[in-house]
C-alpha cells in the first residue's frame, strides 16, 4: 500500500476479478487509462486508450472481470491491487434485479404490481459502501438500456446535489466516474440540515413528498416503472436512524433491501419483514476497499460538494454574483418557533415547536455565507410540499442599502422569490 508519485506513467497489470484501489493525492490530479483488456470504475466501463483525469482526493477502484492493463500518471495517496472483492456477489444481485425488470416489462401494464420492477434500498452503517453499490447497480442497469431512478436519501453526503437535500433522478447512462450523476433535471427537496436529528418530522414529510411524486411519475411511465429504483440511505442505523430506515422502506414500497456490512441490522430487518413475502432482505459483504472518512473529512467533502454545485467538478461552470433588494426576497425557515403563544394554550400546557411550521426570516447579517434553496412554491403555504429549483449562496448583506449579494449558477431573475433557509452555510476558501 504505497503512495506513488510517478513522473513517468506507471503500468499496472490486473488479473481477472481483481481491482486497483486508488486514493488520489490531496493536492494534485491523477491521469489514468486502459491499455489492454477491459475494466470498469464502479460499474462504468473505461474507454480503451483514452486518458481520464481524476480530481485530487478521489477514492475509487478500477475493477476488471477478465484482466486488464492500466496506465497511471500522477501522484496518489495510496494505490494497491486487491484480488478479494465482493464484486461477484454484487453482480449476482444485479442479475436477479435484471430478471425482475424483464418480468415487469413483459407483464401487462394494467397490472400495477406485476409491472413494477425492483425497488431496491441499500442500507448499512457509515462507510459500508452504500453509495458505491447504488452506483454500480444503476450503471449496470443503464448499460443494459434501462433507465432506473436513483433516489438519494443521504442528507450528509448525497451524490445527486448539495448536502441537506433528498433527491431523485433517472439514470439514463452509466455514471461518469469523474463527473458523477448528471444534473439535468433532478427532483430535489430541501431539508436544510446535514443530520436528520435537527428535524426528524420534516425529514419524514419530505421523504413522503418525494415518494408520492415518484409514485405518480411511475404510474404514467411504464418504462421507468419496470426499471425500478435504487435508493441510497444514510449511515445512521441506530435508534431513530433505524426508525427512519423502516419509514423509507415502507414509504417507497421497497421490495429488495440490501444490507451492507452489518449482521445485526440484517437480522433486525429480516425479522421485521419475515411475514411480508413482498420484501426480500439480502445480506451483502462490505468491500475491503471502502475508505473510512472521519467527521472532519465529511465536513470538508460537504464543502467541496457546495463548491462543485456552483463551479462544477472540473471548474467548468461560472456562477454569477447577483444583487437583490431585501424586499424582493421572501426567506422562510421550517420548524423551530413555538406553535402558539403560551397565552393561547390551555393552562399548564407548554408551547411546543412545530416541526413543519414555516416562519419568515428577517434579513440581517446572519444570512452571510448561508446557502438558501430556491423553492418552486407559488405561495408560502406550498413551501413544504414543493421541490426546489436550485440554490444560492449569500456573499454580502448590506443593511444600509437593504441589498443582498448572492452567488447563483446563472445570471438573471431567480425562478421564484420564495427561499428556504436551514443550517447550511459555506465559505469559499
Which residues 369-388 are close enough to bind ligand ATP by CB under 6 A? Answer: none
Binding residue for ligand ATP, selected from 59, 147, 208, 247, defined by CB under 6 A: 59
CA-to-CA distance for 312 and 301, rounded, in angstroms?
14
CA-to-CA distance for 414 and 408, rounded, in angstroms?
9
**Is residue 177 at the binding interface for ligand ATP, with CB under 6 A as the rule?**
no
**Is residue 289 at the binding interface for ligand ATP, with CB under 6 A as the rule?**
yes
Binding residue for ligand ATP, selected from 30, 32, 60, 329, defined by CB under 6 A: 60
User: How many residues are listed for the chain in this entry?
Assistant: 429
**Is residue 18 at the binding interface for ligand ATP, with CB under 6 A as the rule?**
no
CA-to-CA distance for 52 and 281, rounded, in angstroms?
37
**Is residue 75 at the binding interface for ligand ATP, with CB under 6 A as the rule?**
no
Nearer to ligand ATP, 45 or 396 (CB): 45
Give CA angle at 253 (250, 257), nearest 5°: 85
Nearer to ligand ATP, 75 or 131 (CB): 131
Which residues 190-249 are close enough to bind ligand ATP by CB under 6 A? Answer: 235
CB of 393 to ligand ATP, least distance (A): 23
CA-to-CA distance for 252 and 306, rounded, in angstroms?
28
Binding residue for ligand ATP, selected from 30, 61, 165, 363, defined by CB under 6 A: 61
CB of 125 to ligand ATP, least distance (A): 7
CB of 369 to ligand ATP, least distance (A): 24
Cβ pair 133, 260 in contact under 8 A: yes
Nearer to ligand ATP, 126 or 423 (CB): 126
Binding residue for ligand ATP, selected from 30, 175, 226, 290, defined by CB under 6 A: 290
The 3-state DSSP composition of the chain as helix, strand, coil percent (nearest 5) reads 25, 30, 40
Beta-bridge partner residues of 77: none
Nearer to ligand ATP, 67 or 180 (CB): 180
CB of 363 to ligand ATP, least distance (A): 34
Beta-bridge partner residues of 115: none
CA-to-CA distance for 25 and 20, rounded, in angstroms?
15
- Beta-carbon count within 10 A of 348 CB: 5
Cβ pair 100, 43 in contact under 8 A: no
CB of 136 to ligand ATP, least distance (A): 9
Cβ pair 193, 334 in contact under 8 A: no
Binding residue for ligand ATP, selected from 287, 375, 386, 387, defined by CB under 6 A: 287
Nearer to ligand ATP, 124 or 335 (CB): 124
**Is residue 100 at the binding interface for ligand ATP, with CB under 6 A as the rule?**
no
CB of 135 to ligand ATP, least distance (A): 8
Binding residue for ligand ATP, selected from 40, 79, 127, 152, defined by CB under 6 A: 127
State how beta strands 5-14 and 68-82 pair: antiparallel
Closest residue by Cα to residue 370 from 401, 336, 400, 404: 404
CA-to-CA distance for 219 and 30, rounded, in angstroms?
44
**Distance between first and last Cα of the chain:** 32
In order of 134, 145, 235, 347, 375, the CA distances from 87 in angstroms are 13, 21, 21, 62, 40
Cβ pair 62, 46 in contact under 8 A: yes
**Is residue 157 at the binding interface for ligand ATP, with CB under 6 A as the rule?**
yes
**Is residue 21 at the binding interface for ligand ATP, with CB under 6 A as the rule?**
yes
**Is residue 291 at the binding interface for ligand ATP, with CB under 6 A as the rule?**
yes
Nearer to ligand ATP, 51 or 297 (CB): 297
CB of 247 to ligand ATP, least distance (A): 17
**Is residue 130 at the binding interface for ligand ATP, with CB under 6 A as the rule?**
yes
**Total site size for ligand ATP, rule CB under 6 A:** 20
CA-to-CA distance for 117 and 222, rounded, in angstroms?
10
**Is residue 39 at the binding interface for ligand ATP, with CB under 6 A as the rule?**
no
Binding region for ligand ATP (CB under 6 A) = 19, 21, 59-61, 124, 126-132, 154, 157, 235, 287, 289-291
Amino acid at each position: 500500500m504505497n503512495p506513488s508519485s510517478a513522473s513517468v506513467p506507471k503500468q499496472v497489470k490486473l488479473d481477472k476479478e481483481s481491482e486497483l484501489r486508488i486514493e488520489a493525492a490531496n493536492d494534485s490530479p491523477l491521469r489514468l487509462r486502459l491499455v489492454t483488456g477491459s475494466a470498469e470504475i464502479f460499474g462504468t466501463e473505461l474507454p480503451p486508450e483514452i486518458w481520464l483525469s481524476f480530481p485530487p482526493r478521489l477514492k475509487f477502484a478500477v475493477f476488471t472481470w477478465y484482466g486488464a492493463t492500466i496506465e497511471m500518471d500522477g501522484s496518489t495517496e495510496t494505490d494497491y491491487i486487491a484480488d478479494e472483492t465482493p464484486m461477484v456477489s454484487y453482480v449476482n444481485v444485479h442479475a436477479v434485479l435484471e430478471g425482475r425488470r424483464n418480468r415487469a416489462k413483459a407483464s401487462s401494464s394494467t397490472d400495477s404490481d406485476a409491472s413494477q420492477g425492483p425497488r431496491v434500498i441499500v442500507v448499512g452503517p457509515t462507510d459500508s459502501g452504500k453509495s458505491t453499490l447504488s452506483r454500480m447497480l444503476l450503471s449496470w442497469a443503464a448499460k443494459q438500456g434501462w433507465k432506473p431512478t436513483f433516489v438519494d436519501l443521504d442528507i450528509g453526503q448525497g451524490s445527486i446535489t448539495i448536502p441537506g437535500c433528498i433527491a431523485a433522478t433517472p439514470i439514463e447512462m452509466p455514471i461518469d466516474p469523474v463527473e458523477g450523476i448528471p444534473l439535468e433535471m433532478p427532483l430535489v427537496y430541501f431539508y436544510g440540515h446535514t443530520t436528520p436529528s435537527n428535524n426528524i418530522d420534516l425529514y419524514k414529510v419530505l421523504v413522503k413528498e418525494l415518494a408520492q411524486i415518484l409514485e405518480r411519475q411511475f404510474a404514467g411511465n411504464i418504462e421507468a416503472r419496470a426499471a425500478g429504483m435504487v435508493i441510497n440511505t444514510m449511515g445512521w442505523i441506530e435508534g431513530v436512524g433505524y426508525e427512519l430506515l423502516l419509514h423509507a422502506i415502507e414509504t417507497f414500497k421497497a421490495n429488495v433491501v440490501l444490507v451492507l456490512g452489518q449482521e445485526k441490522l440484517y437480522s433486525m430487518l429480516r425479522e421485521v419483514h419475515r411475514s411480508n413475502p413482498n420484501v426480500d432482505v439480502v445480506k451483502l459483504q462490505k468491500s475491503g476497499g471502502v475508505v473510512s472518512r472521519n467527521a472532519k473529512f465529511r465536513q470538508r467533502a460537504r464543502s467541496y460538494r457546495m463548491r462543485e454545485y456552483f463551479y462544477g467538478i472540473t471548474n467548468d461552470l461560472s456562477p454569477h454574483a447577483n444583487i437583490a433588494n431585501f424586499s424582493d426576497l421572501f426567506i422562510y425557515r421550517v420548524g423551530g418557533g413555538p406553535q402558539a403563544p403560551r397565552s393561547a394554550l390551555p393552562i399548564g400546557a407548554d408551547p411546543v415547536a412545530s416541526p413543519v411550521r414555516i416562519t419568515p426570516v428577517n434579513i440581517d447579517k446572519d444570512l452571510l455565507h448561508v446557502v438558501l434553496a430556491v423553492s418552486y412554491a407559488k405561495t408560502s403555504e406550498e413551501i413544504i410540499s414543493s421541490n426546489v429549483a436550485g440554490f444560492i449562496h449569500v456573499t454580502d448583506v448590506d443593511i444600509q442599502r437593504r441589498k443582498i449579494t448572492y452567488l447563483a449558477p446563472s445570471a438573471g431573475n431567480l425562478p421564484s422569490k420564495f427561499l428556504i433557509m436551514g443550517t447550511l452555510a459555506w465559505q469559499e476558501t
